[in-house]
Amino acid sequence: MARRKIVAGNWKMNMTPSEAVELVNTLKPLVENEEVDVVFCVPAIDIIPVVEATKGTNIQVGAENMYYEEKGAYTGEISPNMLTDAGVKYVVLGHSERREYFAETSETVNKKMLKAFEHGITPIMCCGETLEQREQGVTMDFIRQQVKVGFLGVTADQAKTAVIAYEPIWAIGTGKTATTEQAQEVCAGIRACIAEIYDEATAEAIRIQYGGSVNAKTAPELFAQADIDGGLVGGASLKAEFGQIVNYK
């Protein structure tokens, strides 16, 4: 069974609520596509206006992070219930920026993964190596470890619905895209790792995105690869170019 492509924008810490609505109104007609899942992952404060502005469209809304507790004394955090009540369907977990600047670890990512599934939110779990790790030849060892820990306790049925975003850290926001061969090789390695943890059926079902300076020029070749099921897009998701990326064919 062919996997459905998924193209998600990661807005990061950009767009005030009013700017967010303006951007949605610009992008709405450009991202229409019946064959691709389109997700806007937006800052917490933009979630409610973006859900409102995307009603009746093919756009689904995602959060950029989430806490793993249900409620309580966790000042500044957002619970899964808050997200689902607001209309959120996806959540980005373990983005390299959160791992680097906010002490996110694979263990906390795993707790968040389990919580997301419990609440019916689809996780987009990010993994990826540094340039140093790539040069040392340990890319796949490192990523396999991130995936194994991230999926601890996740059932095969849950894993089948998950999304993994392979994002080489050296390619994020740098304008350097991994070559198609590099991206396909790692995404195939991630799929093999899922087959080892679970089985072939789960590996065949799970969707694996590439992320790292994806643009309208690079998307067609990247997304045509056997193991690349779409992209997680940062910078270019804030521009009309995102429409070309969604409609990459």
Active-site residues: which are they?
Answer: 95, 167
Does 41 participate in binding ligand PEP (rule CB under 6 A)? Answer: no
The pair of three-digit structure tokens given for residue 215, joined into one six-digit string: 């643009």
Does 47 participate in binding ligand PEP (rule CB under 6 A)? Answer: no
Q: Which residue has the tokens 């995936």?
A: 147
Q: How many residues bind ligand PEP (CB under 6 A)?
A: 13
**Interface of this chain with ligand PEP, residues 110 to 129, rule: CB under 6 A:** none
Least Å distance, CB 72 to ligand PEP, is 30
Beta carbon nearer to ligand PEP, 88 or 203: 88
User: Coil, strand, or helix at residue 172?
Assistant: coil
Least Å distance, CB 234 to ligand PEP, is 2
Beta carbon nearer to ligand PEP, 168 or 189: 168
Q: In Å, what is the CA distance from 235 to each residue of 26, 88, 157, 216, 245? A: 16, 21, 33, 12, 12
**Buried-exposed string 206-221: b where 16+ CB fall within 10 A, e elsewhere:** bbbbbbbbbbbebbee
For ligand PEP, what does the binding mask look like between residues 160 and 199, x meaning CB under 6 A?
Answer: -------x----xx--------------------------
Least Å distance, CB 28 to ligand PEP, is 21
Does 213 participate in binding ligand PEP (rule CB under 6 A)? Answer: yes
123 sits in which H/E element:
strand 122-127
The pair of three-digit structure tokens given for residue 116, joined into one six-digit string: 């997301």
* Distance, CA of 22 to CA of 18 (rounded, Å): 6
Q: Which residue has the tokens 């070309």?
A: 244
For residue 170, how far is the Cα from the chain centroid? 17
- Sequence-distant (6+) residues with CB within 8 A of 108 are 68
User: Can you tell me which of 5, 6, 7, 10 binds ligand PEP, judged by CB under 6 A?
Assistant: 10
- Residue range at the interface with ligand PEP (CB under 6 A); choices 56-64, 76-84, 227-235, 239-247: 227-235
DSSP string over 26-70: HHTTTT--SSEEEEEEE-GGGHHHHHHHTTTSSEEEEES---SSS
- Residue range at the interface with ligand PEP (CB under 6 A); choices 67-75, 181-189, 197-205, 232-240: 232-240
Using Cβ positions, the residue closest to ligand PEP within the complex turns out to be 234
User: Can you tell me which of 93, 186, 214, 238 binds ligand PEP, judged by CB under 6 A?
Assistant: 214
Under DSSP, the state recorded for 178 is P
* Distance, CA of 236 to CA of 35 (rounded, Å): 20
User: Can you tell me which of 233, 238, 245, 246 binds ligand PEP, judged by CB under 6 A?
Assistant: 233
- Residue range at the interface with ligand PEP (CB under 6 A); choices 19-27, 43-51, 80-88, 230-238: 230-238
**Which residues contribute to the annotated binding site for substrate?**
10-12, 173, 213, 234-235
Please work out, in degrees rounded to the nearest 5, the angle formed at the alpha carbon of residue 10 by the alpha carbons of 9 and 15. 105
List contacts with ligand PEP (CB under 6 A).
10, 12, 167, 172-173, 211-214, 232-235
